[in-house]
Amino acid sequence: MSQEIEIEFKNLLTKEEYQKLVEHFYSYDLTEIEQKNHYFETADFQLKKHHAALRIREKKGTFQLTLKQPNPDGAGLLETHCPITPDETQQWIIGHIIAKDEITKALHAMNINIHDLKYGGMLETYRLECTYNNTTVVLDQSHYNGYTDYELEIEAEDEQHGISVFQQLLTAHHIPKRKTENKIERFYHTLNI
């Protein structure tokens, strides 16, 4: 089990804006990553009510269970990570939830029973990322429930620096700031829930 604070800034992009940014960052030694997010929630959206989210991320043959919650100490999100096996992942997907201590404790603190979780579905992302101006620039193309979307993310260790780099990139590339929900929210909206 590990925990980290994630400070990130997101903006949905048009396909054309996405392609323009890919071309711009092409010389920055982009790393290509393919990942799948498997989402879990209760039938009455208890995680969402606590501004939290739970997923299993499948990337490069490894699986990681992550609970995202608001950071109690300031900016960003508190992420609690726990390794999970491919077999355990399949058990979670078919509804046989296998408790993981730290995740179970955190859910219990929100009065959520781990056995009330249900599999919501999968979102697949083709990710390009690079280091830029002491931040990580992430360009995502995500596919879920018949939809494709494009997104810019800036991950930073310092909130003010991250905002500055984010705004600079949007301005330099004439991209309007758009209200951008996180992936799990966009995913569940496509289920008409």
The β-bridge relationship of strands 53-59 and 135-144 is unpaired
What pLDDT digit, counting tens, does each position of 133-168 carry? 999 999 999 999 999 999 999 999 999 999 999 999
The pair of three-digit structure tokens given for residue 60, joined into one six-digit string: 């490069």
Contacts with 23 (C-beta within 8 Å, 6 or more apart), sequence order: none
pLDDT at 73: 85
Tokens 């980290």 locate to 4
Q: Which domains does the chain have, with CATH numbers?
A: 2-188 (2.40.320.10)
**Model confidence at 66: pLDDT above 70:** yes
CB 81 within 8 A of CB 66: yes
**Model confidence at 192: pLDDT above 70:** no
Neighbours of 40 (CB within 10 A): 22
The pair of three-digit structure tokens given for residue 74, joined into one six-digit string: 């300031």
**Model confidence at 74: pLDDT above 60:** yes
What pLDDT digit, counting tens, does each position of 91-140 carry? 999 999 999 999 999 999 999 999 999 999 999 999 999 999 999 999 99
> Across the chain, what does the average pLDDT equal?
94
What pLDDT digit, counting tens, does each position of 48-63 carry? 999 999 999 999 999 9
Neighbours of 76 (CB within 10 A): 19
